[in-house]
Homo-oligomer: A and B are copies of this chain.
Amino acid sequence: MGWEEQVRRVVPYIPGEQPKQKGIIKLNTNECPYPPSPLVKQKAAEFQTDDLRLYPDPDASLLVKALADYYGVKEDHIFTGVGSDDVLAMSFLTFFNSDKPILFPDITYSFYDVWAELFHIPYRTPALDEAFRLKKEDYLCENGGIIIPNPNAPTGLSEELDTIEAIVAGNPDSLVIIDEAYVDFGGKSAIGLVDKYENLLVVRTFSKSRAMAGIRIGFAVGSSRVIRYLKDVKFSFNSYTMNAPSIAWGAASILDDGYFKETVGKIINTRERVKKELRELGFTFPDSRSNFLFVSHKSIPAAELFEALKQEGIYVRYFNKPRINNYLRITIGTDEEMDRLLTFLNNMAVPR
């Protein structure tokens, strides 16, 4: 019928599988293997469902205040959303509005080009070098905006803050978004640069290091001017995005910093141990500063390993894309989960 001619046609992002069967080892969507803070559990136990009859605070003040205090910025430097995907989608809609192409790496989070297509934003994807490193000069040219993940996904590599700063400083006519979904696992944050550069927006998530993917919280830190523009668009889209549990439980997570640091520390320790063991099994990988490894084996094709692991009930992520189709992205799980993975790889008689 005629109505279909007006429909916005898109090819949606395909998230990693969320298998529902029990007993599998899920290392495919970079979730945290440990539960959220006990303080979150306590707040959930105290939660008053009767209050759900009222709209939540549209400013999510409790959460925003906790974040502002934690990062030592003012509350008007903070924006919150339904996961960092919501924050990023709103940011694309708000800031990337010229006819010039926006820039992001050729190997990166596979949602960036989906948002660009959705909003009809032209884009260019400068190639990372052979070691998957970003070339600063690729981002020092005319553009309609820049988004860089740091650490990058799926490579796990972290760029130096000098590189990031040079790109932000070299682009006063563009908004530069640094997507720091994985920064807590050993990357260097650009949040400290927000006071210095008005054209910088740093985006974070509760889904990885804070073990709260199920609650959907993302946030951004930027100059009050940038945050004001972003809020205007957000309030033109949906006034009440953060529901009551996410505001209350998200704030609780931020307040329990001891638990947070302990969890992140455990994951980093496991990651470094697994790096050594995988190396001995004949794998190579970039030096991840994230909660995942991006591995390639010297003789077994990644697609074959992916299927064998899945048969075994071990889910990892495989991207059948140019340059990375011989790599697997493996989330760092608990030590026990990683041992099962390593044992399986060993038993598979991986040639060394």
Shortest CB-to-CB span from A140 to chain B, Å, is 15
Segment touching B, from A6-14, A68-76, A277-285, A341-349: A6-14
Q: Smallest CB–CB gap between A97 and chain B, Å?
A: 5
Copies of the protein in its oligomer: 2
Assess the B56–A50 pair: CB atoms within 8 A.
Answer: no
Do residues A52 and B211 form an inter-chain contact, with CB atoms below 8 A?
A: yes
Contacts of A214 in B (CB 8 A): 51-56, 243-244
B53 engages A85 (CB within 8 Å): no
Give the distance to chain B from A228, nearest Cβ to Cβ, in Å.
10
A77 at the B interface (CB under 8 A): no
Query: Which residues of A are at the interface with B, using a C-beta cutoff of 8 A?
Result: 1-15, 18, 20, 26, 29, 31-36, 40-41, 44-45, 47, 49-58, 82-83, 85-86, 89, 93-98, 114-115, 117-118, 144-145, 171-175, 198-199, 207, 211-216, 225, 229, 231-246, 249
Q: Which of B93, B118, B216 contacts A241 (CB 8 A)?
A: B216
Hey, which chain B residues are within 8 Å of A3, CB to CB? Answer: 95, 171-175, 198-199
Q: A294 to nearest B CB, angstroms?
A: 20
Q: Indicate if the CB atoms of A36 and B7 lie closer than 8 Å.
A: no
